[in-house]
Amino acid sequence: MSSGQGALTAELEKLLGPEAVLSGPAAERAYDCDAYTVDRSKPSAVVLPRSTDQVAAVVRWCNSRNVPYTARGAGTGLSGGALPALGGVVISTKRLNRILEIDVANQCLLAQSGAVNRKLSEVVRPYGLHFAPDPSSQTVSTLGGNIAENAGGPHTLKYGVTVQHILGVTMVEPSGEIIQLGGRVPGGPGYDFVGLVVGGEGTLGVVTEAWVKLVPIPSAVMTALVSFSTVRQATQSVADIIATGTIPAALELMDRGILNAVSQAFKINYAPGTEALLLIECDSDHSHEAMSRVEAEMAEVREVCERNGAIDIRIAADDAERAQLWTARKKGVGAMGRIAPSIVTHDGVIPRSKLPEMLDFVYQVAKEHQVGVANLFHAGDGNLHPCFYFDDRDPAQVHAVVEAGERIIRRCIELGGSVTGEHGIGVEKIDLMSLMFSIEDLRLQADAKRVFNDGDLCNPCKVLPNQKSCVEHKKRWRGTAW
């Protein structure tokens, strides 16, 4: 540890107590990246505050010493949002993990930003409520991280993304001031600052608490796993289901690549000839007629799938079978480890109507670059996650994966979509922002950022390109690497 770093650590220990400060090689290694592992940058120190006041004290200290800082939840972010790009202090919300107030009657809850997503639902389950945003990382990702990235998940299609479930936040501004935005009563006159902060990728301040909206747990749920012999049949079914006016709670697509991995990992078999699966969930909370509504929706879904040539339709008989049907979706990416040493999971969005041609393009690109690909989609939203699998010990394969990933994301923009549906820009896609937005568009975004952050200490080098002192992104690959 350098003497400068030693002095920094000593000052932080004096501020928060030694038990709240980590430094040295082990801390540097543990906090030098999030789940986007290709870019790493060592922090000078890591702090674990227990309160909003302590977070504010750290931010003010950083301001006084001109030290950059980066908030970090569980570190499951997939675009480098928690990467301490210019070093400095990582502010971990690990100890800001309490549920502070549960207001059942008003269907909301106040939690610290380090509270785990899944835990929010668990504590209110006895009241028949849950926190709807369900990213795949929900068993570990934190409320603050979900807010920073405006997290989605499979049930986004019906229930919306995180911003639609955040009523208010307590945030430490980059000035060091503690502010409260929004509150339990939604709406209200004035500018929607909560809407700007959610999805701000931790660059507008450090959120320490949030009032979240709770929704009733559906009283009726039906889950179907539908097998198709071609991917086109599956994508056409997606389009046709949406066209009926039904909004399923979840509508996920997985191709043969994912199924192979899941079959190997979990010994699950699918109908012979299956090239694509649709996982479709319908639900309702209209208590006295919920089941008949759900049955009617599922009947309509079934009819669409059969019309498009479904070769097998399994409907879960109970919760245990429902969990089993979800296995391919929830464990598909992890199971990819069975078939290759490395995988990269991308994140892009295209209009739903472009699903068939986009999938064709993904397969074509993979073939041209001679890399393996498996596809996992939030098909209802057009949010794709192509997973390239390869051996990163072979530089030629790494190069091929980089090139293939770039082509996929560029194609998303060409088709009228977005460079990211839920992983965020972070550092990963910062140089793609200019493909989607003009200079004037980016100036508008920069002005919006200035409302809260007019400096360069709060989570620098994220979201907007051309920030000062930020090194050029190391172009290894896009997406999450495993």
Partner 1 sequence: MVNWVKARTEAEIVDVIRAHPTVKLVGSDSCGTWRRPVNASVVLGIESCGVIEHDVEDQVVVVSAGATIAEVQQALRKRGQCIPLGPNVPDALDRLDDWRGSVAGQLSLNLPHSLQAECGSWRDWVLGLTIVRPDGTVCKCGSKAVKSVAGYDVAKLFIGARGTLGVISQVILRTFPIRGLPQPDFNLGSGLWSHAGRIQRTLSTDFEAARIAYGDHLIAFNSKGSTLYISCDVTDQSFRYPGDWQLGWGLGEANLSIEDPTVKRLMERTKTIMDPSRKLNPGEFE
The answer to whether residues 98 and 80 touch, using CB atoms and an 8 Å cutoff, is no
> Using CB under 8 A, which of 3, 272, 393, 447 touches partner 1?
447
Q: What does 421-475 look like in DSSP terms, one character per residue?
A: SSS--TTTTGGGHHHHS-HHHHHHHHHHHHTT--SS-BS-S-SSS--TTPPPP--
Establish if 288 lies at the interface with partner 1 (CB under 8 A): no
Establish if 200 lies at the interface with partner 1 (CB under 8 A): yes
Centroid of chain to Cα 88: 25
Tokens for 481, please give them. Answer: 């690497």
What is the nearest approach in angstroms of partner 1 to the Cβ of residue 181?
7
Tokens for 456, please give them. Answer: 């360069």
Which phi-psi region, left, alpha or beta, contains residue 32 (left: φ > 0; alpha: ψ -120 to 50)?
A: alpha
Name the one range near partner 1 by CB under 8 A: 274-282, 327-335, 363-371, 448-456. Answer: 448-456
Residues 47-86 that bind partner 1 (CB under 8 A): none
Establish if 127 lies at the interface with partner 1 (CB under 8 A): no
Which phi-psi region, left, alpha or beta, contains residue 80 (left: φ > 0; alpha: ψ -120 to 50)?
A: left
Establish if 165 lies at the interface with partner 1 (CB under 8 A): no
What is the nearest approach in angstroms of partner 1 to the Cβ of residue 135?
12
- Cβ proximity to partner 1, 140 vs 436, nearer residue: 436
Establish if 294 lies at the interface with partner 1 (CB under 8 A): no
- Cβ proximity to partner 1, 54 vs 107, nearer residue: 107
Establish if 262 lies at the interface with partner 1 (CB under 8 A): no
Give me the residues paired with residue 99 across strands.
111
What is the nearest approach in angstroms of partner 1 to the Cβ of residue 67?
24
Establish if 463 lies at the interface with partner 1 (CB under 8 A): yes
Q: How far apart are alpha carbons 13 and 359 in whole angstroms?
A: 53
What is the nearest approach in angstroms of partner 1 to the Cβ of residue 108?
9
> Using CB under 8 A, which of 138, 150, 227, 342 touches partner 1?
150
- Cβ proximity to partner 1, 347 vs 392, nearer residue: 347
Q: How far apart are alpha carbons 133 and 89 in whole angstroms?
A: 29
Q: How far apart are alpha carbons 61 and 67 in whole angstroms?
A: 8
- Taking CA atoms, 89 is separated from 84, 172, 245, 329, in Å, by 8, 15, 49, 36
Name every residue whose Cβ is closer than 8 Å to that of residue 239 and which is 6 or more positions away in sequence.
352, 353, 355
Q: Give the per-residue contact string, 215-244, with partner 1 (x = CB under 8 A; - = no).
A: ------------------------x--xxx
Tokens for 270, please give them. Answer: 């699918």
Establish if 164 lies at the interface with partner 1 (CB under 8 A): yes
Q: How far apart are alpha carbons 238 and 355 in whole angstroms?
A: 9
- Cβ proximity to partner 1, 342 vs 420, nearer residue: 420
Q: Which amino acid, one-letter code, is at 180? A: Q
Give me the residues paired with residue 279 across strands.
225, 252
Establish if 449 lies at the interface with partner 1 (CB under 8 A): yes
Establish if 433 lies at the interface with partner 1 (CB under 8 A): yes
The answer to whether residues 228 and 234 touch, using CB atoms and an 8 Å cutoff, is yes
The answer to whether residues 110 and 211 touch, using CB atoms and an 8 Å cutoff, is yes
Residues 354-413 that bind partner 1 (CB under 8 A): 378, 381-383
Which phi-psi region, left, alpha or beta, contains residue 284 (left: φ > 0; alpha: ψ -120 to 50)?
A: beta
Establish if 303 lies at the interface with partner 1 (CB under 8 A): no
> Using CB under 8 A, which of 17, 24, 341, 351 touches partner 1?
351
How many residues sit close enough to partner 1 to count as binding (CB under 8 A)? 75
Q: Which stretches does DSSP call E strand in 328-399?
A: 342-345, 348-349, 372-378, 383-390
- Cβ proximity to partner 1, 12 vs 350, nearer residue: 350
- Cβ proximity to partner 1, 264 vs 353, nearer residue: 353
Burial annotation 371-386 (CB, 10 A radius, 16+ → b, else e): bbbbbbbbbbbbbbbb
- Cβ proximity to partner 1, 273 vs 351, nearer residue: 351
Establish if 451 lies at the interface with partner 1 (CB under 8 A): yes
Strand 89-92 versus strand 45-47 pairing type = parallel
The answer to whether residues 38 and 477 touch, using CB atoms and an 8 Å cutoff, is yes
> Using CB under 8 A, which of 47, 163, 224, 276 touches partner 1?
163
Establish if 184 lies at the interface with partner 1 (CB under 8 A): yes
Establish if 436 lies at the interface with partner 1 (CB under 8 A): yes
> Using CB under 8 A, which of 209, 255, 422, 428 touches partner 1?
422
Q: Give the per-residue contact string, 101-120, with partner 1 (x = CB under 8 A; - = no).
A: ----xxx-------------
Establish if 443 lies at the interface with partner 1 (CB under 8 A): yes
Q: Give the per-residue contact string, 240-259, with partner 1 (x = CB under 8 A; - = no).
A: --xxxxxx------------
Name the one range near partner 1 by CB under 8 A: 61-69, 82-90, 185-193, 223-231. Answer: 185-193
